[in-house]
Structure 1
Amino acid sequence: VEEGIVPGGGVALINAIPALDKVEANGDEAVGVQIIRRALEEPLRQIAENAGFEGSVVVGKVKEAEKGVGFNAATEVYEDMIKAGIVDPTKVTVSALQNAVSIASMLLTTESLVAEIPEKKPAAPPAPDMMGY
């Protein structure tokens, strides 16, 4: 892997949050820092919720744990993600964060946004019973 690996499962992003404490920001900039702080928690929160756990609780436990320790949704255990083989390429993690910030800043500086109105689709019909099978 070109630039190395970082702990996967959103742990690298959680471990990056303390770096935001060094950012000096006031007013709207401080709000932006808070938004980024929350966004960095979101991948781990979503993984936990997809596994049937309360995302905020899992995020809190990972924040309190040592660096590199995260929630393994497959085993439902908090463990060192690199030792467990749960890793992300550094380059992918960094570029995903840079692209997200770039898009967010573009949306904030744009005076209008064009989007499609989602179509309302009818619900799928109920599945037949399995009595004969």
Structure 2
Amino acid sequence: NGAGNAEAIKTRVNQIKAQIETTTSDYDKEKLQERLAKLAGGVAVLYVGAASEVEMKEKKDRVDDALHATRAAVEEGIVAGGGVALVRAKKSLEKTATVNIDESTGVQIINKAIEAPLRIIIENAGGEGSVVLNKVLEGKKDFGYDAKNEVYVDMLEAGIIDPKKVTRVALENAASVAGMILTTECALIDIKEDTAGAGMPPMGGGGGMPGMM
């Protein structure tokens, strides 16, 4: 009838969780997560429909992003969205001790960079990034700005959240790329040639043929 020994199922669930933690293969991890869902919870099938193929692909991508974001949230929890969590990290940076001017400059760069997500969100919504940023900095904890409705709210209560893992990994990757650029002495790039009018023959001056006097 589908029933099983509860203790045996619990043991197997713990085994699968341990395998998920240790595996380095994304494919294996995905299959283990599916197996875990079937044993420990439920399985849902989402049907995505749209009026056109382009719209359907766009909606499918949104669902896929939401699925991965949910998995990330389950792994490490959630933080206030809209760039608020990063802005709140500025207080921790203020307490960071530095031993030389290079470290101090690095802290200042990060301090400025973590403001960018909130600023960009506000500017994309047609607002003034600096004004909203200062207002958010005056607030505490999860106080932030709902760019869609143009109001200041408690981000968690309003449901404006980000997976902690996504925010953390984004910051770590940005720092990694920035560090690589800073230590790079040169870069090789392809210069795109201007091909406009390449097929047109040169126009001669006056009424004579080119090269004729």
Structure 1 portions without partners, runs of 5+? 123-133
CA–CA separation in structure 1 for the residues paired with 2:125 and 2:115: 16
CA–CA separation in structure 2 for the residues paired with 1:71 and 1:24: 31
Q: What amino acid maps onto 1:69 in structure 2?
A: F
Q: What amino acid maps onto 1:8 in structure 2?
A: G
Aligned to 2:96: 23
Aligned to 2:150: 76
SS at match of 2:79: strand
Structure 1 residues 8 and 28: CA distance shift in structure 2, 3 A: same
Q: Are 2:131 and 1:50 aligned?
A: no
Of 98, 102, 105, the residue aligned with 2:172 is: 98
1:115 is displaced (CA, Å) by 3.4
Structure 2 portions without partners, runs of 5+? 1-73, 197-213
Aligned residues: 122
Q: Are 2:144 and 1:86 aligned?
A: no
SS at match of 1:6: strand
SS at match of 2:162: strand
CA–CA separation in structure 2 for the residues paired with 1:118 and 1:82: 46
1:118 is displaced (CA, Å) by 6.2
Q: CA RMSD of the aligned region, Å?
A: 1.9
CA–CA separation in structure 2 for the residues paired with 1:113 and 1:47: 31
1:31 is displaced (CA, Å) by 1.2
1:117 is displaced (CA, Å) by 4.2
Question: Normalising by structure 2, what TM-score?
Answer: 0.54
* More helix by percentage: 2
Structure 1 residues 17 and 115: CA distance shift in structure 2, 3 A: farther
Between the two proteins, what is the percent identity of the paired residues?
Answer: 58
SS at match of 2:187: coil
